[in-house]
Structure 1
Amino acid sequence: MSDPSIRPIPADRIARWDYEADVVVAGFGVAGASAAVAAATAGAQVLVLERTSGWGGAAAMAGGFVYLGGGTPLQTACGFEDSVADMQAFLKAALGPGADEAKIDLYCEGSVDHYRWLADEIGVPFKAEFWGEPGWEPPTDAGLMYSGGENSAPFNTIARPAPRGHVPQMADKQSNGERGGGYMLMKPLVDKAIELGVEAVYDVRVQTLVVDADGRVTGLVAKQYGKTVAVRARTGVVLATGSFAYNGAMVEAFAPRIAGRPAASIEEHDGRAIRMAQALGADLAHMDATEVAFFCDPQLFIRGILVNGRGQRYVPEDTYPGHVGQATLLRNDNQAFLVIDQAAYEEGLTRPTATPMLRMPPTWVCETVTELEAEMGLPAGSLQTTVEVYNTHAANGEDPLLGKKPEWVAPIGSPVAAIDLRGMTGGFTLGGLRTSVDSEVLHVSGDPIPGLFAAGRCTAGISAGGYVSGASLGDGSFFGRRAGASAARN
C-alpha cells in the first residue's frame, strides 16, 4: 500500500514554520543526544524532536555496552593492553563481509578519544573493574567485559584479544530500565545537552522531509498531538530515530529471518526515517543484516555443547552469545539443543548471571546419550557420534573441531540432559541508510544529500551482518557526534 505522506514537501509550500533551529535532530536516543551535544558544542542552536514523552530511546533500556578499545584508560586500569590495529583486525573479521572499512578504521582510531569524551566531557562513569564470567552483561557495576567473542575461536587467532565492552557504572544495577547501564549512558548525555542549551520537544512524530528548489533538506514536517507542524532547519537535519525492527512490512521485505521476533529494540523503531530519506533517493546498505539474541543463559551453554537439528555441533559455546544466536537462526534453521550433564548444569546454576530468567530446566534427562538421542527425536547415531568425538578430545582438554577454550572443555558424563532451544532467538535490524564517515546521508548516485545527516540504527554503521555488544551504542554515539558537527558547520 502506498504512503504519499512519506514523500518530500517543497519548501515553498510551507506557509509557516512552527519551530526553527540551526540543527534539527529527530530522535533523542544515544545517536540523537550525541548529535545534539556535538552540534551545540560547535555553536549551533539545536532542537531535538522526540516522538515519545521522554528522552532515552532503546539506548536507555539497554545493558549499556559501548564498544571501545585501542588502549582506553579503562582497559589500562584493568590491566589489559590493546591497540588500534588489533581492534581493527578483529572488527573487520567479526562484523561480516562487506563491512565499511573506512568507518571501522575511523572508529578504531578515534576510540580512545571517544572514551575520553564520554568519561571526561560528558561525565559517563566507568568503574575500573573487569568482569570475566560468561554472560550477556555483568550483573555487577564492573566496567569492562569481553563483549564480542574476541578471546574465542576463530577471532583469538586473528587479533590479540582484549575486552572492549565498556559498561557505564550503575549502583544496584538491574538488567534494564532506569537501573541499567544504558540509562547511565543516556542521562549524562541528556544533561550535557540541556546544559548546552539544546531544546527538546516531545510527542512529535516526524512524517517527511522538506526540500528547497535545489534539493537541499531544509526541515521536517511532523505530527504533534495530531496536529501537523513544520520545523525549519537552517543548517541541517539529523535523523536518529532507530531501526526498522518493528516495521513488519520492512522486516518481511529485507530481513525476513527475524519476522515476528523483534528483540532488544522498541516499538518506535518503525523505519520511518529510512523511508523518508529513501523518498529523496537515499541509498541503503546491509538491510538483511540482523543481530540475534539467544535465549539461554551463557553460564549454562558454555558448560555443555550446542547441537542443531541433525545432532551436530555448530558453534564454539564460549563465544559471544550474539554469535551463537546468529549461527542458530541464520545458519541452522533456528534449531538448537543444549546437551549438558548433571554436574555441569548444577555448577552453572551456582554462578552469577545477569540473566537468571534464561536458566531453563532440562527438557529431557537420561542415563545415556543413546537414550537421550532417541528421546530428542534425532537421527540414530547422530548425537552419539557428536558426543563421542567431543569427549575423546575433551579428555585432553582440547576441542580441535571448533576451538572452544580448554577451561570450558570437559567430557560429558551421566546423567545427561538436553534443553530444547528451538526457536529461542530474537533480534533487531542492523541495516539502514548509507552514510559517509561524516554521517552525510548518501544518494544512490554516491553524492551526499545536501542538508541531511543520520546516525544510529537508522543507518548502516560499522556492522554488516556480524555484531558485537556495544556496536550500536558505540557507533551511534561516535557517528552521532560527527552528524551533529557536520550539520552545524553545514
Structure 2
Amino acid sequence: MSEVEALEADVVVLGTGPAGMAAIAAAADEGATVVVLEAMDHIGGNAVWSTGYLAFVDSAMQREQDIADDEETFVADARAMVEQARDRFGVEWDEALVRLFARESAETYRLLVERGVRFSRFIPRPRQHTVDRMAAVEDSWMLGRAFRADVERPGVTVRYGTVADRLVVTDGRVTGVRAHSTTDQALLEVTARRGVVLATGGYQANPELRRRIQPEAVSRAPYLGIDTCRGDGHLLGQAIGGDLINMTFVPPLVIVSSSVVEDAIAVNEAGERFHDEAGPYEERVDRLHEQPGRRAWYVVDDEVAREKATLIGQMPEPPVTAGSLAELAAAIGVPAAALEATVARWNDFLATGAGQDPDFGRVVLPPGRRTCARAPFTAVPMVEGINFCCGGFRVTTDLQVLDVFGDAIPGLFAAGDCVGGLNPVSDLGGIHISGGFTLGRLAGRAAARDVRGGGGHGSVLHAQLPGMLDTRIALVQLDPEPTTS
C-alpha cells in the first residue's frame, strides 16, 4: 500500500477560485495556518475566465457617483429575481444569506481595490438591478492575481494538482481531508485542527452528476469555464450528510462572455437582430429558441475580434471570418443586403448618443460607443449551454454546512458555488464571483475562529425538515461511509 503523506493545519481550504482565495486570506489574517488543495496548477478558478462583472451594495464606487443603494433595495431586487425563477425551477433562496451578502459586499469591493483590482464603470441592468451596482473590472485577469500574495504567506501551504477524495470525520466533527495527486496518484491526508472550507466551485463540468438532476440531452450541453468544476465539494459534503438545495437549478444560457456581448449584435437567418443581446439570460435563450433551427450568430468587427480573441475562442463553435459583410453573409447563409442594413442601423443608433436601443431596449452598449465598422468581420454561432449552477449546501450565517436535519456539521464550512442559498439570485448579474469573494472571506474567518455547531440561523430549520431524507437527491458518487479516525 502506498505511503500516505501527512500534513496538518488549523484550516484546510479546498479550491482556489474566488471563494477559496478569499477564505485563505481571511483565515491567514486570523493567524491560522492553512493548507490549500487545488486541482489545477494555478489559483483563480473560473475567475480567470470571467468577464469581470461584480455586484456590490452601497460600495465606495456607488457613493462616489451619488448612487443610493442599501440592503433593502438589493433584497427587493433579489426577491423579484427569485419569483421569476420559480416558474422554471424549484427554488430555495436564503434571505438571511442574501442580506449577509448585501451587508458585506462593500467590504469585498474595498479589499479587491486594495489588492490592485480596478473597476472602470457600471454595467446598467435596469430590469434586474434597479440601481447601478454591477461594476466592470478593467483587467479581469487581476481577479485571479489579487490574492497571489496571500497564498505565498509563510503560514499557507498550497498543493496544486491535488484532488480531495474524502472528508475525515472524528467523533462527529470534520477533522481533515484525504486526497491524491493527479500527476502521480500519491496519497495525502491533511488534518484540520479547526475547520475545512469547501470552495471547489460548481458541477457544470460533470455530465454524469448533472444527468441525475437534468434530462439526459440537457445534462450534456456545453458549459463555459474550467473542467475541474465537477461537484467535488458537493459530493464530499453530501457523503457525510450535508443538505444540498437548488441542485436542479442549472439555468440555460447562450454561451458567450458578457464582454463580447457588449460589442456584438446578434442576427438570425434573415440577417436581422431579434432581441436585446445583453438582456436577461433566460430571455436570450427564449429568443434563440424562436429562430428557425435555433440558428443565429454574434457579429463583431476586426477590432473587437482581435481584442477579444481569447473570449471568442472559448465559445463552443468556431468563428467565421470574411473580408466584408457581404462575404460574411454568404459564409453563414444569410441575405447580404439584410446583414448590411442591420449593421448600418446599429451603427447609426450608436452615433446618435441615445442611451437605449430603439428596437429592443438594449442599454448595455459598446465601450466608447464604438461601431461595428472595421473589416474583416467575424460571426460566431450562438449555442445554448450553461455557465454556472445554483445548487449547493444549506448553511448558517457563519457558513457552516447544515445536515438534512438542520444541524450544523462541526468543522465543515462552504462558500462560493458550494453554497445553495445565495446563487438563486445570480441572474441579477455579478453575484457569482462577488458572492464567492464575500462568503469565502466569511467562511475562512469562521473556520479560523473555530466556530462550533449550532451557530448562525441553522437551528430554526428543525421544524422545516421532517421527511427531508425521503426527498433529498441522491448524488453520492463516493463511498457513502465517511472516513473516521
Q: Could you say whether these structures have the same fold, taking a TM-score greater than 0.5 normalized by the shorter chain as the test?
A: yes
Equivalence for 1:82: 69
Equivalence for 1:249: 208
Aligned identity (percent) is 28
Q: Decide whether aligned partners of structure 1 residues 422 and 49 sit closer, same or farther in structure 2, where only a CA change above 3 A counts.
A: closer
Equivalence map 1:77-476=2 (5 Å): 77-78=64-65, 80-94=67-81, 96-97=85-86, 98=91, 99-120=93-114, 123-127=115-119, 143-146=120-123, 150-151=125-126, 154-155=127-128, 159=130, 161-167=131-137, 169-170=138-139, 181-182=140-141, 184-195=142-153, 197-213=155-171, 215-224=172-181, 225-256=184-215, 258-288=218-248, 289-290=250-251, 292-295=253-256, 298=261, 316-320=276-280, 322-327=281-286, 335=294, 337=296, 349=301, 355=308, 361-362=328-329, 363-366=332-335, 423-464=383-424, 466-476=426-436
Deviations 1:126-154 (A, max 9, x none): 14xxxxxxxxxxxxxxx2331xx622xx4
Q: Decide whether aligned partners of structure 1 residues 291 and 47 sit closer, same or farther in structure 2, where only a CA change above 3 A counts.
A: farther
The answer to whether the 8 A contact 1:21-1:47 is kept is: yes
Q: Distance in 2 between matches of 1:110 and 1:25?
A: 21
Equivalence for 1:131: none
Q: Distance in 2 between matches of 1:400 and 1:53?
A: 47
Amino acid of the structure 2 residue aligned with 1:126:
R
1:195 alignment partner, SS class? coil
Deviation, structure 1 residue 31: 1.1
Equivalence for 1:173: none
Amino acid of the structure 1 residue aligned with 2:118:
F
- Which range moves more in the overlay, 441-450 or 190-199? 190-199
2:404 alignment partner, SS class? coil
Unaligned residue ranges in structure 1 (runs of 5+): 1-14, 128-142, 171-180, 340-344, 370-396, 409-418
The answer to whether the 8 A contact 2:20-2:440 is kept is: yes
Q: Distance in 2 between matches of 1:155 and 1:446?
A: 32
The answer to whether the 8 A contact 1:334-1:424 is kept is: no
Deviations 1:359-410 (A, max 9, x none): 76444444999xxxxxxxxxxxxxxxxxxxxxxxxxxx999997666999xx
Q: Distance in 2 between matches of 1:422 and 1:188?
A: 32
Deviations 1:239-285 (A, max 9, x none): 11111111121111224464333333211111122111111111111
Deviations 1:410-457 (A, max 9, x none): xxxxxxxxx895645443322122222221111111111111111122
Q: Distance in 1 between matches of 2:365 and 2:9?
A: 57
Q: Decide whether aligned partners of structure 1 residues 484 and 155 sit closer, same or farther in structure 2, where only a CA change above 3 A counts.
A: closer
- With normalisation by structure 1, the TM-score equals 0.68
Unaligned residue ranges in structure 2 (runs of 5+): 313-318, 321-327, 339-354, 367-378, 451-485
Q: Decide whether aligned partners of structure 1 residues 334 and 275 sit closer, same or farther in structure 2, where only a CA change above 3 A counts.
A: farther
The answer to whether the 8 A contact 1:328-1:334 is kept is: no
Equivalence for 1:416: none
Q: Distance in 2 between matches of 1:212 and 1:330?
A: 52
1:36 alignment partner, SS class? helix
RMSD over aligned CA atoms reads 4.0
